Amino acid sequence: MPEKIKVAIVGSTGYTGVKLIELLLDHPLVEIVAVTSEQYSGQAFSEVYPAFLDIFDQKCIKLEELAAKSEAENIKLIFFATPNGIAMERAHAFITRGIDIIDLSADFRLKDLETHFKYYQLERNQDSVDLNNEAIYGLCEANASKIRAAKASIAEGVLIANPGCYPTASSLSILAFLDFNKRSKNNNLTELFNLQDIIIDAKSGASGAGRKSTTANLFCEVNESFKAYNLAHKHRHNPELEEFFSIYSETKINLTFSPHLLPMTSGILATSYFSLNKAALSEFDLDDKAEDINNKLREIVTEFYKDSHFVKVLKPGQYPNTASVKGTNNVHIQVEYDEYTNKIIVCTVIDNTVKGASGQAIQNMNLLYGFDENLGLNQKVRVI
Amino acid sequence: MPEKIKVAIVGSTGYTGVKLIELLLDHPLVEIVAVTSEQYSGQAFSEVYPAFLDIFDQKCIKLEELAAKSEAENIKLIFFATPNGIAMERAHAFITRGIDIIDLSADFRLKDLETHFKYYQLERNQDSVDLNNEAIYGLCEANASKIRAAKASIAEGVLIANPGCYPTASSLSILAFLDFNKRSKNNNLTELFNLQDIIIDAKSGASGAGRKSTTANLFCEVNESFKAYNLAHKHRHNPELEEFFSIYSETKINLTFSPHLLPMTSGILATSYFSLNKAALSEFDLDDKAEDINNKLREIVTEFYKDSHFVKVLKPGQYPNTASVKGTNNVHIQVEYDEYTNKIIVCTVIDNTVKGASGQAIQNMNLLYGFDENLGLNQKVRVI
Amino acid sequence: MPEKIKVAIVGSTGYTGVKLIELLLDHPLVEIVAVTSEQYSGQAFSEVYPAFLDIFDQKCIKLEELAAKSEAENIKLIFFATPNGIAMERAHAFITRGIDIIDLSADFRLKDLETHFKYYQLERNQDSVDLNNEAIYGLCEANASKIRAAKASIAEGVLIANPGCYPTASSLSILAFLDFNKRSKNNNLTELFNLQDIIIDAKSGASGAGRKSTTANLFCEVNESFKAYNLAHKHRHNPELEEFFSIYSETKINLTFSPHLLPMTSGILATSYFSLNKAALSEFDLDDKAEDINNKLREIVTEFYKDSHFVKVLKPGQYPNTASVKGTNNVHIQVEYDEYTNKIIVCTVIDNTVKGASGQAIQNMNLLYGFDENLGLNQKVRVI
Amino acid sequence: MPEKIKVAIVGSTGYTGVKLIELLLDHPLVEIVAVTSEQYSGQAFSEVYPAFLDIFDQKCIKLEELAAKSEAENIKLIFFATPNGIAMERAHAFITRGIDIIDLSADFRLKDLETHFKYYQLERNQDSVDLNNEAIYGLCEANASKIRAAKASIAEGVLIANPGCYPTASSLSILAFLDFNKRSKNNNLTELFNLQDIIIDAKSGASGAGRKSTTANLFCEVNESFKAYNLAHKHRHNPELEEFFSIYSETKINLTFSPHLLPMTSGILATSYFSLNKAALSEFDLDDKAEDINNKLREIVTEFYKDSHFVKVLKPGQYPNTASVKGTNNVHIQVEYDEYTNKIIVCTVIDNTVKGASGQAIQNMNLLYGFDENLGLNQKVRVI
């Protein structure tokens, strides 16, 4: 068995931090040697989260202590599970010392820095700008080969920008179709799917808001309630999705993204809508029988994810349920064609703190170091 | 003060039945003289629901006892809060005796009986077919004047088909725009809204499934879970919406309707999408500035509902929350224009058991008998 | 109909404040003329709680503006729905001007000021000390006659200290037995119940913690969790219960009180335990047949509450459920005798924000002004 | 590594069945070779629970097919995760063939068959009576050595009766004190704790009721509600506790047990009360200073569980929270002394489907086969 790599978690007591620890404790090739928390520094992690009593009692340190610690301990990888703006300032110093970083915040997700500033209002220095150019967008199902190759091509530490939770669920709904259109185009075929007009209606559990003490996050405000928010391009994940789709498909894509807040802790469900280009059906040996189109849609998605450990296409008649992926890095997808309206509806669920954050971060780590992609991420099913 | 009317509730121990009782007990012009329950007949209502101890202790009777009871008590109105198929068989006998019926089931909601059979698989006899022709679709905000006039025009009892919960929330999102387009057309203007391509992504609390003992409705299955179901025209409320929109707009309309199940008891939120016909902007003295379009949208909705007791358009920046209408007959609406995608997004919330069922049934009763539309339905706010 | 009394609510945007408004809007003899909020002053109440849009749009003022306002508007009664320490400082000035006060905080609940200071660490000036002597403990079922007589006997404004939510539920479990013992003693009979050794195991919904933005109150911390806290005389309601029981029974009483936090918004259930003094059975014409003892227990409680509008004793075999009293001022009680252990178990439920706070405050107001005790508090059942 | 043992699960689609599968899939020395379900036989397990898609797709068989299967596959151990009454009829045939059984139902928990019949109304034949005599009560923390030795002493298959969920949480609260008293007595010391008068106020999540489709288990009935039930010796776990305590302490013990139903899926919290025998303090070198007594209590519990993998005593000031043990086989305990009432309060939490059922079943299996007690049961923490 290879030697364990030593990792640190910055911002360990937030929800993505604690989920990282929960998962990494079960990873055979990782040793957690430092966890930081500004609020709880000096306390044992298990004092903050008694669930970890006798399981993970490591003392939290401050971020400013991490440089020395990382040298002393020979830390290889740091997860930033921090509010936006921290990694932007601190990542560079570690990267230059050869430490890899997986950033779960939004600091390095957007290549377009103007858009980033518009949505996040955070200034960045030149180091951060340079680093942003190097950062790899860590949507594993799209960029696995790039991540696998990263250590070879980059002398310094590698920086992976872990995608947002909504963008993960949403992208995995559309990816197969973006890819299909791209390959069609490359083969001089007409695009079968109108992907210039995607609507993504997404719903997230409350852990997506993090462990922030605001009135809006209180139990009595979230419980037995459901609401939309930040409609019409006001949510930060809207431009993240558009940039990623545009890069991936090599076409400028705008889309309508509508987030909603669910009265439950974990899970995201994205319902996506786009239309079929009926004019192109014949090029793909299809007439417009709904059954055939449904089969084709299923085939496209199944084929695209055939080597994925985590993405599973449900059988006809089954619908994705957030409860079925809870605690896991799994993704359940269903696709259906509505013959009366010519709409294709894709429904995808993830656990927002796992595949939407910490699980995907570990998947990225596995890819980066050439581990099995699903190492430490298997068999976490939690039905009850 | 006018004399109280005497009413009966068939199927009183289901969730819409108990909500009817809860609301009618506070109605100054109604007296409940009979409640039926096949399962609990012979028991006091307050034995089934101890919340009503000393408040409503009336004994449940069987439906077969209601004919005699209605004669003896001179019952004027019967609410059917029953599973589908019951009113279809039983309503006619009451109607011919001059008793009015408000049916909360789906038996008389669709004029197109072929579609009804396709979605409900329930055979009906000739009486039921005839009755279906007479039935008024009780979406109050659309058909108030028809309902108000009904008693004058019909010698026998009046039959009101109370709309489904999803259709109520969904229709109230679109109604103002259907009306605007219709009036534009009548004025020889181009339609400003493309309403041939509506997508309605709707989410409902668990009480929408009724008080049926199935595995799918168990606490441990619904709690901490979220799923879509019956996508792509498989839900029965899809044709109900299409037929109503088609009749209302005098054009055939198909639409994409996607229901989802929320882990909470009460509330529906519908997020609706359609696009703006930019080519028509100039006819309405608009250029394509987002702010102006937003103002116009708000003006259209506000104007349409200006005399409504229940439908309230939220201020810019506020988003409808099911918790804000819980327990009330109120409807909160927000509309926004997404300038990047040219989509109009309308978000509407109701309490599915009140405005989506029993509250609207009482609103229909108020209209039918010339009471104030909001009698017994005011000031029910329940924030905590 | 008598003239409406004008009232103000200090601290209107907390959970007990909003519940007061919700209930008072339905009270035929009350007009709300001022609501204060330090955090939201200047905003319409309906901006803070959109549920009240078009229903209660009054603008929040600051507490410092209330003196002038109360003079201008001729305010008769002020509800303090504030954190502890505010009424202690501000009540006196209003009282001396003849304004009555119902204080929902803990400032005037304890006669023993040393104990108060030990548990609350709040200093008070001489005015507050004097006022504390005058304050009436507003547990209506115990002190109704005192409250009804208060206006006659006190020249200045009357101060009612509304009981805590846990003490309300807990006291109503034991009151009938305290009373029974007291009357037995007065008749030179042995005490039938050992009330020197009461254990109260109480469970409360999350709204009991108020609308405070702390990590502990976050949705993701409360949801799907259950815990005890402040065991072994560390909760502030423990001495409140002991003082009230001691005064009421004219004997010093200590008791074990254990609070727990439920993953739901509203409701308290108190399970109380004490033992039967078997030696006294014969004095009450009882042998030790369980059935007879059970009948006696039920008779004692039923008799004690026979004139109560709100306290209802459940039938044998039924158990109190918080959901059955949700939104109401009702109290459901069940009592059982365990013959194997000689324990009497009393189970009581209330809605903590209604009977445990704002509903009882209104009940106190009704008593104070000679209104029907249940005016504005009837028929609020909310099963679904 | 030793060879994997082959196991079957009878009643695999109930909540304890699915939890067994979830946990056993992660156990390095177990292979699941058969799962039965009367309702879903013929379907893949992952069709019933889509969470297991591509993870556990084994087809469910009927129980009547298991005899042949167990022979063909050389099954060593069968878990009965069935309703009461099934193992009673079916276990004997497997036991005689040398197959071990861990029964998660209540069929073999009580040695006193008269009491069993009184509470369960299930007749049993002579084989079942004989088997009941052999059955070992599988509360691991009490009977580990007996279970470890079982294979040596019994020629046929071993039968372990897995304890009820409430009795597990409750017993683990009291065990250390029962043991301390017993050892005191053996050393001719007075008993320090009055354990003849224990009150256990217990609260359970809804999964404790199993996956039964009854009105009482519906989401809308359980959500936002809290109630007591089966008070005063009417719950089946009351005699189970009494018998176990009596056997363990070698004294007849009665106790008061009060179950309550929590609006959440998983978790039990038991709050237990008994009093200190102050007269005995000096024999244990204690005076009645609360701090010293608290230290002594903590020392007793800590010492008793010092070798336990799963039972953890919380630090002073921390209170057990069901969320902290969710998904784990862990047990969190806190003990406090109330000096004002001389009561000792012990608070214990478990996950009812893990330590209260399937986790303890696996712990029993580990003990039975000489595996590490915590094999397959470690590091399952699930904070978010």
DSSP characters over B23-62: HHTT-TTEEEEEEB-TTTTTSBHHHHSGGGTTT--PBPB-
**Alpha-carbon span C43 to A174, nearest angstrom:** 43
Name the token pair of B345: 């997004």
| Contacting residues of D for A314, CB less than 8 Å apart | 50, 53
> So which residues of C are the catalytic ones?
165
Q: Is residue C6 within a helix (H) or strand (E), and if so which, with residue range?
A: strand C5-10
Evaluate if residue D251 carries a pLDDT over 70: yes
Mean pLDDT of A330-343: 98
Mean pLDDT of B124-128: 96
3-class secondary structure, B342: coil
**Alpha-carbon span A164 to A155, nearest angstrom:** 27
Interface confidence: ipTM more than 0.85:
yes
Q: Is A233 in Cβ contact with B322 (below 8 Å)?
A: no
Q: How does DSSP assign D58-92, residue by residue? A: PBPB-GGGHHHHHHHHT--EEEE---TTHHHHHHH
Cβ(B98)–Cβ(B75) below 8 Å: no
**In sequence order, what are the residues at sequence separation of 6 or more whose Cβ sits closer than 8 angstroms to the Cβ of residue C228?**
C258, C259, C260, D269, D271, D319, D320, D334, D347
Mean pLDDT of D4-16: 98
Q: Where are the beta strands (DSSP E) in chain B?
A: 5-10, 30-35, 77-80, 100-103, 136-137, 159-161, 193-204, 227-228, 256-261, 268-276, 311-313, 331-338, 343-350
**Alpha-carbon span C240 to C171, nearest angstrom:** 10
Give the number of C-alpha atoms closer than 13 A to the C-alpha of residue B145, restricted to the C-beta side: 0
Strand partners, A345: A273, A336
Per the model's pLDDT, the better-predicted residue between A383 and D215 turns out to be: D215
CB of C43 within 8 Å of any CB in chain A?
no
Evaluate if residue B80 carries a pLDDT over 70: yes
**Residue A320, amino acid:** P
Strand partners, C257: C200
Cα A78 vs. chain centroid, distance in angstroms?
A: 17
Mean pLDDT of C164-181: 98
| Contacting residues of B for A340, CB less than 8 Å apart | 233, 254
Beta strand pairing status for A256-261 and A268-276? unpaired
Average pLDDT over chain A reads 96
**Alpha-carbon span A158 to D79, nearest angstrom:** 49
How far D343 CA sits from the closest chain C CA (Å)? 7
Cβ(D360)–Cβ(D328) below 8 Å: no
Name the token pair of B241: 């919406």
**Angle between the N-to-C axes of helices C165-186 and C290-304, in degrees from 0 to 180, rounded to the nearest 10:** 110
Confidence of residue A1 (pLDDT cuts 50, 70, 90): low
Evaluate if residue B202 carries a pLDDT over 80: yes
Cβ(B103)–Cβ(B8) below 8 Å: no
Say which DSSP state C41 is in: T
How far A341 CA sits from the closest chain D CA (Å)? 29
CB of C203 within 8 Å of any CB in chain D?
yes
Spell out a b/e string for A324-354, using b for 16 or more CB atoms within 10 Å of the CB, else e. Answer: bbbbbbbbbbbbbbbbbbbbbbbbbbbbbbb
Per the model's pLDDT, the better-predicted residue between D384 and C230 turns out to be: C230
CB of A384 within 8 Å of any CB in chain C?
no
3-class secondary structure, A269: strand
Q: Is B381 in Cβ contact with C25 (below 8 Å)?
A: yes
Let me know how many helices (H) and strands (E) chain B has, helices first: 13, 13
Q: How far is CA B7 from CA A119, B32, B36, C115, in A?
A: 57, 5, 12, 57
Confidence of residue D328 (pLDDT cuts 50, 70, 90): very high
pLDDT tens-digit map of D32-81: 999 999 999 999 999 999 999 999 999 999 999 999 999 999 999 999 99
CB of B255 within 8 Å of any CB in chain A?
yes
Rounded to 5, what percent of chain D is helix, strand, coil?
40, 20, 40
| Contacting residues of A for B225, CB less than 8 Å apart | 264, 267, 321-323
Which pLDDT score, from 0 to 100, does residue A361 have? 98
Q: How far is CA B178 from CA B249, B256, B338, in A?
A: 6, 16, 19
Evaluate if residue B214 carries a pLDDT over 80: yes
Mean pLDDT of B64-91: 97
> So which residues of B are the catalytic ones?
165
Evaluate if residue C1 carries a pLDDT over 70: no
Closest CA to C94 of C124, C133, C64, C126: C64
Q: How far is CA C229 from CA A148, D272, D300, D319, in A?
A: 49, 14, 22, 6
Evaluate if residue A148 carries a pLDDT over 80: yes
Cβ(B61)–Cβ(B39) below 8 Å: no
Cβ(D230)–Cβ(C315) below 8 Å: no
Strand partners, D159: D101
Closest CA to B259 of B238, B282, B241, B242: B238
**Alpha-carbon span A190 to A183, nearest angstrom:** 10
Name the token pair of A378: 């298997």
Mean pLDDT of A277-294: 95
Torsion angle, alpha carbons of A44, A49, A54, A58, to 10 = -30
Q: Is B264 in Cβ contact with D223 (below 8 Å)?
A: yes
**Alpha-carbon span C340 to D358, nearest angstrom:** 32
Measured between CA atoms, the residue of chain D closest to residue B221 is D219
Out of B197, B223, B228, closest to residue A347 by CB = B228
Closest CA to D38 of D95, D83, D97, D96: D83
Query: Of B153-167, C126-140, D262-276, where does mean pLDDT reach its minimum?
Result: B153-167
**Residue A113, amino acid:** L
The span from the first CA to the last CA of chain A, in angstroms, equals: 34
How far A7 CA sits from the closest chain D CA (Å)? 18
CB pairs under 8 A between A and B: 159
How far A112 CA sits from the closest chain D CA (Å)? 33
Which pLDDT score, from 0 to 100, does residue A68 have? 97
Name the token pair of A193: 């799917």
Out of D18, D51, D384, closest to residue A266 by CB = D384
- Mutate which of A16, A212, A219 to test chain C, going by most C C-beta atoms within 10 A? A219
**Alpha-carbon span A332 to C78, nearest angstrom:** 56
Please name the residues between 288 and 327 in chain D that touch chain C, using a CB distance below 8 Å: 319-323, 326
Which pLDDT score, from 0 to 100, does residue C26 have? 93
Measured between CA atoms, the residue of chain C closest to residue A39 is C215
Q: Where are the beta strands (DSSP E) in D219-327?
A: 227-228, 256-261, 268-276, 311-313
Evaluate if residue A2 carries a pLDDT over 90: no
Evaluate if residue B378 carries a pLDDT over 90: no
Q: What percent of chain C has pLDDT over 90?
A: 95
Name the token pair of D320: 């057990």
Q: Is D211 in Cβ contact with B213 (below 8 Å)?
A: no
Torsion angle, alpha carbons of D4, D10, D16, D19, to 10 = 40
**Alpha-carbon span B67 to C10, nearest angstrom:** 55
Give me the count of residues in chain C. Answer: 384
CB of C271 within 8 Å of any CB in chain D?
yes
Out of D205, D263, D343, closest to residue C199 by CB = D343
Which pLDDT score, from 0 to 100, does residue A141 have? 98
D165 is catalytic: yes
Q: Is B384 in Cβ contact with C324 (below 8 Å)?
A: no
Give the number of C-alpha atoms closer than 13 A to the C-alpha of residue A191, restricted to the C-beta side: 14
pLDDT tens-digit map of C289-339: 999 999 999 999 999 999 999 999 999 999 999 999 999 999 999 999 999
Q: What percent of chain A has pLDDT over 90?
A: 95
D234-D235-D239 Cα angle (round to 5): 95
How far A45 CA sits from the closest chain C CA (Å)? 16
Confidence of residue D135 (pLDDT cuts 50, 70, 90): very high
| Per annotation, catalytic residue among D60, D165, D220, D347 | D165
At which residue do the structure tokens 């790599």 appear? A5
Q: Helices (DSSP H) in A25-111: which residue ranges?
A: 45-48, 66-73, 86-96
pLDDT tens-digit map of C109-163: 999 999 999 999 999 999 999 999 999 999 999 999 999 999 887 778 999 999 9
- Sheet containing A268-276: which strands, arranged edge to edge? A227-228, A256-261, A193-204, A268-276, A343-350, A331-338, A311-313
Out of D255, D322, D345, closest to residue C258 by CB = D345
Count other Cβ atoms within 10 Å, centred on residue D31.
15
Closest CA to C373 of C358, C360, C356: C360
How far B304 CA sits from the closest chain D CA (Å)? 35
**Alpha-carbon span C256 to D275, nearest angstrom:** 11
**Alpha-carbon span B193 to B200, nearest angstrom:** 15
**Alpha-carbon span A131 to A124, nearest angstrom:** 11
CB of C197 within 8 Å of any CB in chain D?
yes
